Structure 1
Amino acid sequence: MDGLDLPAGTRAPQGGAAPRSMTVATMLALPAFAGAEVIAGRSGLDRVVRRANVMEVPDIVPWVRDEGLLLTTGYPLREATGGLAALVAALDERGVSALAVKLHRYLERLPEPMLAEADRRGLPVVLVPDEVGFDEVLTELYTSVVSERASLLERSEEVQQQLVDIVLTGGGVDDVTASVSALFGGLAMVTTADGRVISDVGAPEQRAALRESSVFHPSGRFRTEVATAGVHVVDDVPGSHAVVHIKAGRIDHGRLVLFDPGRVMTPADLTILERAATVAAVSLTKEIAITAVESKYRGDFLRDVLAGRAGAPADVVAHARSLGWDLDRPVVVLVAALDTERAPAMSLGYRGPVEVERFTAAWRGVVGRQDATVPVEGFAAEVVALLPVPAGSAPASVVDPTVAHVAGDGGGGRRPFATGVSRVVTSPDQLPAAYEQARKALHVGRQLHGPHALAHFDELGVFRLLSLIDDSRELSSFVTETLGDLADGTSTEAADLRETLQMLLDTNLNVAETARRLHFHYNTLRYRISKLERLVGPFTTDPNLRLDLALALRVVAMRNL
């Protein structure tokens, strides 16, 4: 049995020739197949042919490989005519591209059940003229292999040189994306590791249609957790799309994605995309280094503003304008921080500063698409943004959608983060106080609602006062003295009674309403009230005790005391 592997081809830039994957249809155009006739399975003429085997024995199935042409004189088939339909099914399941048969010497005709099965499965069955030798077929296929490989190598070198030129001439990620789009004639994009689009180039109508497909999250994030490296065919995306990783050492910078609506891309396309991804990694590394230098000056200035040592408001506004920022408008200070302790380890071992850099880049990307004049900087363990609030709008109308866009749906390695938001301020000299408000909201929100908390300072209520008490032991002592046995954090019964007590306080001791909300019988709740008063005192008649109990329950609600 002779074997011959044919490499998959690739697509050239518009106006140039390119190697393509050999299909059954293009194979039949070779001189060796002159006079050949497709007698079944014509619907499968677009199957890719990458190798060829000669069938010498009936039990060929374990030996065949996918995308292969199987040649036979009919000798192995002459005594197996009853099982030829099953043979066709087995070959198709093994991925064979076509079956080429020479008749008359050992077999006069192929049985109808076999041809019917080939038609049903779209497995081309080709009759080769008697005068054609298999050596001619294999020789021409081998010639095609050499030609395609040489063409592919030449094409790869051309692409590599073009991409390297981008780096050498100072080009960036946008230039790499544009080059890939031009090379393949599709929509190309570069995303972060969790799918936020950094750059995309292609037809606007194709971009709009793709954003509505299943490969994108409604927030605009490409679903990298679903579209792993390789070629993908999805029902609601025309053609196919290929995904390759953009890596530099152990750092995963993101993904290079190419959408081609006209065909299913091949392994050779992936090879060229991987070269482009290498260049994209160099460009991203360079841009990260430049951004780091620029961010140092921007970050130092923003720290001075938030510390109140940047000068008079007019000077702050003027200097901010020189950095491309607009501080001459009402804003809220937003502080967001990763929850690195409770989050699972990142797949590529990111730690410390790298995490914050990526988190900062995510905020810059989302906020920058909305308004490029908004200051967004990463500090040691947090990201700070000064989001503008239009007149007459509530801060939540600006903040909440922005946080949702950064969070996406939690895929692709994104880290949990909490967010604190200040009151609206109208002058730069009010920013230091607003910054402290945002940090306070972040701290309290995390304690109350965990690592995904979004807390506005104006909504903290009494928690703002409780958070000012630094001595957690004093708070714990107050809880124990006020709640007694109800302060036991390990007791299910104590937790159940605390819930009943909280609901009674929330309803202003309305027994009927409390029973309805807790789904208790009226008499059951009366019994619970008696038990609560034995444990904590006559709270139904003592308003000062009710205040103490309400505060103690608020302290219990705060986490990490």
Structure 2
Amino acid sequence: MRVADLLDLPVLQGARVVAGASGLEARVRWVHVVDLPDPLPWIDRGMLMLSTGIAWPRQDEELADLVRRLAERGVAALGLAVPHYFARFPDPMRIAAEEVGLPLIEIPWEIPFVRITETVHQLILREQWQELERAEKLHRELMRAAARTRSLDRLVRTLGELLGRSITVEEPDGTLLAYYQRGPYEDAARQVTIESGRAPAWLQEGLAARGYLPPQGTQPYRVPAIPELGLRERVVCPIWLHGELVGLVWIIEGGEPLSGLDLRAAEHAALVFALLFAQQRELAQLEARLGYAFLNTVIEGRFSGSPEELERARALGYDPARRYRVAVIALGEPPLTVEAFQRREQVALRVRRVLRQLAAAPLVATVHDQVIALVEQEAHLERIWQELAGCGLTAVAGRAHAGPDGVRRSYREACTLLEYVSRPGLYRYEDLVLERVLAGDSEARQAFLSLWLGPLERARHGDRLVETLVHWVRARFSVNAVAEELGVHPNTVRYRLEQAGTLLGRDLSDPEAQFELQLLLRLLGREGKLPVVA
């Protein structure tokens, strides 16, 4: 209950605030009548102090000092029964009250203090009972949500709906784990975090520079509005697990502060999240051990393909009939130190989490300074790199192949690329084939031929497409010359070239593509595979 709410009570009809109106939002915890020369030992923070003024000093400075000391003690408001011992609050008390923001309330003498205390205490107790009922509801709903689901997103939504606030749960490094958005974005910082999947570096650095990150304890704490960071008021609840900070709950507070009950609910939710994290860690560790063992077995050529092994592989989410790329994330340093080992495991954990979020099998393994993952879709590879792009790592990916032999082949292709890259980035096998051909890599020559000719040879009448394409290159890209040489109409040549470009996914008029085609012609000549006119 606020001081301002007291003035609306029928029992205080006729009472009026004569000074210190800036403190009317203060909360009232209790009401106490004190008529002693020194009231301070008998009062406490948040009390409405009632007095007749019979024991107050009469000197101006002492009266002003009394107001200042009551404000320092945390008194919510001071009520004086008038007129009797004082006709009204003396001017020195009013002036002091305005300075310190302590509301002074003049109460008509005929209103008994006992009626005021009884009425206010009943309302405070009713408010506290309602708080307890709401606390029980919050606790019950959180427990019910935790029992129904193991989804962090669902738990965050439940907390957001109970508090009526927008919420994010993030890792200590700012990676977004889950969020609940209530209406439009409250500020720029939140919008960037949700749209990019992590808190931007400038936000993290700005909060750290101001001492708000990392948390210094286990209790929730407030972060004020920081306009230069595009940040509105927030409450932060650290998530601790076995003495380790594993996450942060960010609650948008805005202009309406969270109540003490809301803060306790948020703290309780952080505990529920910690228990969920513990369970997820155990499952992830089991999943990781199984995934490590399976993927290492395949890469090392120890996968026999027996019915029992195939059954276990399918249980882990691997389908031998599907085509997978092998992605290798190179950390650049062997895990010979605790820090390097933890970094490698953290990268593996992030890759597994991305694959789980994409509903893909989290088949990940670690070997020396590498994190290895099976990736079925191109979009999944892009999403993994998006997660790791800011970590200064190098990621390489072999081509997509089917079956255990295909996994080993894709892994070898990926490892081959590591010899040709010198800076962080994502590199696919097909992206670097040309560079490797120019460097004299014999395996790359075969891959280059396969990239250009494979899609055409597998197509219907593919031999005609290959024949037309090669003659077109040899004729220095003249359609009419090819038509005359092959004895067909120029439009037929154009149609075949258009088909070839579609199958290859390349613009054959592009100078870079034509350079590669000229290289293709030379390699075909070296290999003795140039087609001849029938």
TM-score using structure 1 length? 0.57
Shift of 1:255: 3.1
Contact 2:335–2:344 under 8 Å retained in 1: no
1:456-495 pair list within 5 angstroms: none
Change (3 A) 1:119 1:72: same
Shift of 1:162: 1.9
- The residue identity in structure 1 corresponding to 2:295 is L
Aligned counterpart, 1:272: 265
- The residue identity in structure 2 corresponding to 1:234 is P
1:388-399 pair list within 5 angstroms: none
Aligned counterpart, 1:257: 250
Give the match's secondary structure for 1:254. strand
Contact 2:366–2:372 under 8 Å retained in 1: yes
Shift of 1:187: 0.9
Work out the CA distance in 1 between the residues paired with 2:75 and 2:112: 21
Aligned counterpart, 2:77: 98
- The residue identity in structure 1 corresponding to 2:108 is P
- The residue identity in structure 2 corresponding to 1:158 is K
Cα deviations across residues 103-131 of structure 1 (Å, max 9, x unaligned)?
Answer: 33222232334324433443322112212
Q: 1:225 aligns with which of 190, 210, 213?
A: 213
Change (3 A) 1:169 1:72: same
Change (3 A) 1:72 1:434: farther
Aligned counterpart, 1:241: 234
Work out the CA distance in 2 between the residues paired with 1:342 and 1:62: 57
Change (3 A) 1:72 1:324: farther
Change (3 A) 1:375 1:294: closer
Aligned counterpart, 2:56: 77
Shift of 1:207: 5.9
Contact 1:118–1:124 under 8 Å retained in 2: yes
Matched, 1:123 2:111: no
Work out the CA distance in 1 between the residues paired with 2:116 and 2:330: 69
Work out the CA distance in 1 between the residues paired with 2:151 and 2:193: 29
1:509-548 pair list within 5 angstroms: none
Give the match's secondary structure for 1:77. coil
Contact 1:325–1:373 under 8 Å retained in 2: no
- The residue identity in structure 2 corresponding to 1:38 is V
Change (3 A) 1:287 1:332: closer
Matched, 1:334 2:329: yes
- The residue identity in structure 1 corresponding to 2:220 is G
Give the match's secondary structure for 1:66. coil
Aligned counterpart, 1:143: 122
- The residue identity in structure 2 corresponding to 1:26 is D
Shift of 1:50: 2.3
Give the match's secondary structure for 1:152. helix
Aligned counterpart, 1:133: 112
% identical equivalent positions:
24
- The residue identity in structure 1 corresponding to 2:178 is S
Work out the CA distance in 2 between the residues paired with 1:86 and 1:425: 82
Contact 1:66–1:95 under 8 Å retained in 2: yes
1:348-359 pair list within 5 angstroms: none
Give the match's secondary structure for 1:206. coil
Give the match's secondary structure for 2:273. helix
- The residue identity in structure 2 corresponding to 1:148 is E
Work out the CA distance in 1 between the residues paired with 2:69 and 2:214: 31
Change (3 A) 1:378 1:23: farther
Aligned counterpart, 2:364: 377
Aligned counterpart, 2:524: none
1:28-427 pair list within 5 angstroms: 28-57=7-36, 59-60=38-39, 64-203=43-182, 205-206=184-185, 209-211=188-190, 217-219=199-201, 225-226=213-214, 229-236=219-226, 240-247=233-240, 250=243, 252-307=245-300, 322=317, 333-336=328-331, 341=337, 360-364=348-352, 377=364, 379=366, 383-385=371-373, 402-403=387-388, 405=390, 419=393, 421-422=395-396
Contact 1:193–1:253 under 8 Å retained in 2: yes
Give the match's secondary structure for 2:105. strand
- The residue identity in structure 2 corresponding to 1:41 is G
Change (3 A) 1:47 1:323: farther
Contact 1:24–1:47 under 8 Å retained in 2: yes
- Listed as ranges, the gaps of 5+ residues in structure 2 are 402-406, 430-534
Cα deviations across residues 303-324 of structure 1 (Å, max 9, x unaligned)?
Answer: 3454355699xx9xx9799559
Work out the CA distance in 2 between the residues paired with 1:335 and 1:60: 71
Q: Which protein has the larger Cα radius of gyration, Structure 1 or Structure 2?
A: 2
- The residue identity in structure 2 corresponding to 1:302 is L
Contact 2:389–2:425 under 8 Å retained in 1: no
Shift of 1:436: 5.3
Give the match's secondary structure for 1:205. coil
Contact 2:188–2:231 under 8 Å retained in 1: no
Work out the CA distance in 2 between the residues paired with 1:204 and 1:250: 35
Aligned counterpart, 1:516: none
Shift of 1:171: 4.3
Contact 2:398–2:412 under 8 Å retained in 1: no
Give the match's secondary structure for 1:26. helix
Change (3 A) 1:377 1:322: closer
Work out the CA distance in 2 between the residues paired with 1:399 and 1:180: 29
Q: Which 10-residue stretch deviates more, 428-437 or 124-133? A: 428-437
- The residue identity in structure 2 corresponding to 1:307 is E
Work out the CA distance in 2 between the residues paired with 1:275 and 1:399: 33
Work out the CA distance in 2 between the residues paired with 1:249 and 1:125: 50
Work out the CA distance in 1 between the residues paired with 2:48 and 2:426: 64
- The residue identity in structure 2 corresponding to 1:147 is R
Shift of 1:184: 1.1
Aligned counterpart, 1:554: none
Change (3 A) 1:227 1:62: farther
- The residue identity in structure 1 corresponding to 2:190 is R
Aligned counterpart, 1:410: none
1:440-459 pair list within 5 angstroms: none
Give the match's secondary structure for 1:257. strand
Cα deviations across residues 22-73 of structure 1 (Å, max 9, x unaligned)?
Answer: 1111233334423221112223222222244444445555775433323322
Aligned counterpart, 1:521: none
Shift of 1:177: 0.8
Give the match's secondary structure for 2:328. strand
Q: Which has the higher contact order (CA 8 A, sep 6+)?
A: 1
Shift of 1:366: 6.6
Work out the CA distance in 1 between the residues paired with 2:334 and 2:99: 56
Work out the CA distance in 1 between the residues paired with 2:282 and 2:64: 63
Change (3 A) 1:400 1:163: closer
Work out the CA distance in 1 between the residues paired with 2:417 and 2:38: 74
Shift of 1:284: 3.0
Give the match's secondary structure for 2:291. helix
Change (3 A) 1:390 1:377: closer
Cα deviations across residues 79-117 of structure 1 (Å, max 9, x unaligned)?
Answer: 242244444444444433222222332222323343244
Give the match's secondary structure for 1:99. strand
